[in-house]
Amino acid sequence: QVQLVESGGGLVQAGGSLRLSCAASGIIGSINVWGWSRQAPGKQRELVAFITNGGSTNYADSVKGRFTISRDNAKNTVYLQMNSLKPEDTAVYYCNAKNVVADYWGQGTQVTVSS
């Protein structure tokens, strides 16, 4: 089992920045991919960014150049640095961890960007 706890969400003005954190515990050695997804009201959950154990990253087109995913192995924490935030980035952000047999999710953290 893997437990994920997100933090760092909040209210920010357009153009501002936030850094989300995802603290992982449990059998994290089995995890191959770490990611962040988001879900806005009335919309489907969408993948925002992911990072592999090898360090490869991938981003949704809507956040490329503004968001950066990173991982601190010593702290078992995954981060999502969000810059130049837009009102359309408003959503609940979820941390995600995958291995070959399971898909784990955190409880989510709200990000609200005011115009």
Cβ atoms 45, 94 nearer than 8 A = yes
pLDDT attached to residue 3: 96
Report the b/e string of 35-57 with b at 16+ CB within 10 A. bbbbeeeeeeeeebbbbeeeeee
Residue 108: band (very low, low, confident or very high) from pLDDT cuts 50, 70, 90: very high
Helix (H, G, I), strand (E, B) or coil at 64: coil
Q: Which of 17, 16, 6 minimizes the C-alpha distance to 68?
A: 17
- Arithmetic mean of pLDDT, 53-66: 96
Residue from 18, 25, 23, 28 nearest 5 by CA: 23
Output the pLDDT for position 27.
87
How far apart, in whole angstroms, are the C-alpha atoms of residue 61 and residue 51?
A: 15
Residue 48, pLDDT above cutoff 90: yes
Does position 86 have pLDDT exceeding 90, yes or no?
yes
Q: Band the pLDDT of 28: cuts 50, 70, 90.
A: confident
